[in-house]
Structure 1
């Protein structure tokens, strides 16, 4: 006889966030939080443990509310600023840099499809420091859009049944957003508070990288949701919106942060620990001419990726006041270009760390392999080879990118 699953236990504190008022303040706070997170990054990765107070410091910093529209009391930072904030945090701890990524996407869903009352309520929660996590994707099905979780009306509420996977941040969340398909095969997004009857969070994430994202399983078992907590998310793709580019730029920003971390640790290790090759005939590894060339190449490629990331944010910012077929397509293409370079430099920089650092850089005490593991896992979010296709099809044939979360 099978046992009823019990939700994983994690001490989630009462939210008590400051409110960030500007783009400049968001960047300043991000640097301060990053310095705090960097102190224990390697050890948290090694132990697969994140103390609850660490997550609370992060969300109570106010960074999780920076996309809330000004009319509802938030900073409504630019997309370019948001990408930079995510990259700054991800360079300190890539797992913790990822956990609010879907939180930001969910706030965008609320902005696009929420009623005034829904926006007032959920944006208010975000500004107070509540953390939202996703229960969107599923591990089975023909492809990522084959959603089996169902929602049906039951009196004045709705009931959800299904199994979700890759639920990033679920262990740390105050609220979870569950994606389900209704009787008309339309995708609905239901926000439910942690501890709801019928909501089970399973702490079973066991990937080699992004170890502390808590991207495990969420079960909905006759989970009741009031109508006021339901969002018609399918509408975000029936007309041109920035929902797809938004999801993609936040993902690309995490990869940029991973690349920064890898290059940072490469430079430090080459300067302080690596030995020069005998044929270089120099005193220090940092004077080895071939090493200098490789580090220069990494620095240039990272800066190019960052420049495309910032440019993509600005293209999105230009489209935000009045999105249409053309400017949304241009935003998707701009983000696709950034996604290609952030993916490639994250993998290359995390690999070159070992080549340039030498055998001693692989010792377990350094835990440098976390950068490669994080890059390799996170860049699998969607196949970057299709970004080349998106850009090429746009340039050659004028074909606009498809409208979904991965474009």
Structure 2
């Protein structure tokens, strides 16, 4: 089974080298409105073959290049470094818009933005200037954070050993979303003191092997597979002490969760629109209704209304979380960071619920024919079920309840 899943492009060596070469510098987006407009234009294009890409597990090489060349991957870079410095509400709208068309594309850029924030928080000015410029040119950051065999998600076994003029990283990663398609892979490794660092390693570095062995039934084209590091040499100027972000009050954890919730909201958007389109075009009225069209069915109408209301509520809380993140970035106090974390936990619960509900209602309201394999509408449910498994919502409920009932502040890490 795995051999079939890996298809032709199962490692960086099988992808044409020119894919990683920048033919032109990326567009520089100037403001929030431009970012949203570009995302809307791209989403219309990305939606056209989203079902086919999912069915064939076709890697989105053309799409991902257009996506990063559009300038959207650089919109959170501060203005003093040449970026648009958009609000997090705008970033959420971009993520939702792209994810509603193809949630795999929405997820691939997720960790890119999270690591851009870590560079802003923890890197030196020289590192910021270099990597922000790389991103603005069109270079993509991947992800090699999680491991699948450790006791918990935070118990990392990948190590970083510091030498006199370089460091050496050794270990095995999984769930490495987007790493195969990235120019730089931020690898989280633990020092001998137990502190996590991010080593930003260029694609094709000796000892670095990235495998497209992601076999999940959803988010099929995120290339969330394995990264193997066999004594990979890393320049010291490419190492960022990301542990610092959680030793003080920062919005790093909230931002990581925020982008996850935005992807789920985008999945819900796409599933609801798919339901509306299908019911309008194909669904037949029920035999006992006496109606001419399924769109006149009062039960169907009420269900669409329920979905839209719950989506609006989830997105409204996500917007509140965005405002809280902006406040925490401007003034990283304990109050602001806690508020950002709590609101993101609430948004994660609501976006998870509406994504799963919308994907289920798609079939309930569309009817049996909507399950035909050639339509591949089940991708919405598979994507919702797969992506919402990130950071279980039962613990989000616990975080919020514990804060208000017992005055216990939310934990300070990337999964809260």
- Shorter-chain TM-score bucket reads over 0.9
TM-score for the superposition, normalised by structure 2: 0.95
TM-score for the superposition, normalised by structure 1: 0.97
Give 3-state SS (helix, strand or coil) of 1:210's partner: coil
Aligned to 2:29: 20
CA deviation vs aligned residue, 1:205-244 (integer Å, no higher than 9, x gap)? 1100000000000000010001100000111100010000
| Root mean square deviation, CA, Å | 1.1
Query: After alignment, is 271-280 or 139-148 more displaced?
Result: 271-280
Which residue, out of 86, 105, 115, partners 1:106?
115
Whether the 8 Å contact between 1:101 and 1:250 is mirrored in structure 2 is yes
Question: Is 2:227 the counterpart of 1:218?
Answer: yes
Counterparts of 1:217 and 1:97 in 2: how far apart (Å)? 20
Counterparts of 2:20 and 2:169 in 1: how far apart (Å)? 27
Question: Is 2:238 the counterpart of 1:229?
Answer: yes
State the Cα distance separating 1:51 from its structure 2 match. 4.4
State the Cα distance separating 1:7 from its structure 2 match. 4.8
Whether the 8 Å contact between 2:188 and 2:199 is mirrored in structure 1 is yes
Q: 1:360/1:6 Cα in 2 relative to 1: closer, same or farther (>3 Å)? A: closer
Structure 2 segments unaligned to the other structure (5+ residues): 1-9
Counterparts of 1:9 and 1:165 in 2: how far apart (Å)? 19
Whether the 8 Å contact between 1:269 and 1:357 is mirrored in structure 2 is yes
Which residue, out of 23, 39, 57, partners 1:30?
39
Which residue, out of 293, 297, 302, partners 1:284?
293
Question: Is 2:204 the counterpart of 1:195?
Answer: yes
Aligned to 2:3: none
Question: Is 2:255 the counterpart of 1:246?
Answer: yes
CA deviation vs aligned residue, 1:134-189 (integer Å, no higher than 9, x gap)? 10110011100010001112231000110000000011111101110011111011
Structure 1 segments unaligned to the other structure (5+ residues): none
Question: Is 2:105 the counterpart of 1:96?
Answer: yes
Q: 1:352/1:6 Cα in 2 relative to 1: closer, same or farther (>3 Å)? A: closer
Give 3-state SS (helix, strand or coil) of 1:145's partner: coil
What are the equivalent positions in structure 2 for 1:36-75 lying under 5 Å apart? Answer: 36-75=45-84
Which residue, out of 271, 275, 278, partners 1:269?
278
Aligned to 2:174: 165
Task: Work out the number of aligned pairs and report it.
Answer: 403
CA deviation vs aligned residue, 1:236-283 (integer Å, no higher than 9, x gap)? 100010000000000000000000000000001111101111121111
Q: 1:189/1:308 Cα in 2 relative to 1: closer, same or farther (>3 Å)? A: same
State the Cα distance separating 1:8 from its structure 2 match. 4.7
Question: Is 2:413 the counterpart of 1:404?
Answer: yes
Whether the 8 Å contact between 1:149 and 1:160 is mirrored in structure 2 is yes
Question: Is 2:385 the counterpart of 1:386?
Answer: no
State the Cα distance separating 1:13 from its structure 2 match. 3.6
Question: Is 2:182 the counterpart of 1:178?
Answer: no
Aligned to 1:81: 90
Whether the 8 Å contact between 2:208 and 2:227 is mirrored in structure 1 is yes
Counterparts of 2:240 and 2:404 in 1: how far apart (Å)? 35
Whether the 8 Å contact between 2:246 and 2:413 is mirrored in structure 1 is yes
CA deviation vs aligned residue, 1:74-93 (integer Å, no higher than 9, x gap)? 00111111111100000010
Give 3-state SS (helix, strand or coil) of 1:208's partner: coil
Counterparts of 2:76 and 2:283 in 1: how far apart (Å)? 43
Give 3-state SS (helix, strand or coil) of 2:373's partner: coil
Counterparts of 2:55 and 2:283 in 1: how far apart (Å)? 23
Counterparts of 2:15 and 2:185 in 1: how far apart (Å)? 15
State the Cα distance separating 1:50 from its structure 2 match. 2.6
Whether the 8 Å contact between 1:8 and 1:202 is mirrored in structure 2 is no
Which residue, out of 291, 294, 297, partners 2:303?
294
Give 3-state SS (helix, strand or coil) of 1:133's partner: coil
State the Cα distance separating 1:285 from its structure 2 match. 0.8
Whether the 8 Å contact between 1:8 and 1:203 is mirrored in structure 2 is no
Give 3-state SS (helix, strand or coil) of 1:300's partner: helix
Counterparts of 1:40 and 1:63 in 2: how far apart (Å)? 21
Query: After alignment, is 147-156 or 246-255 more displaced?
Result: 147-156
Aligned to 2:15: 10
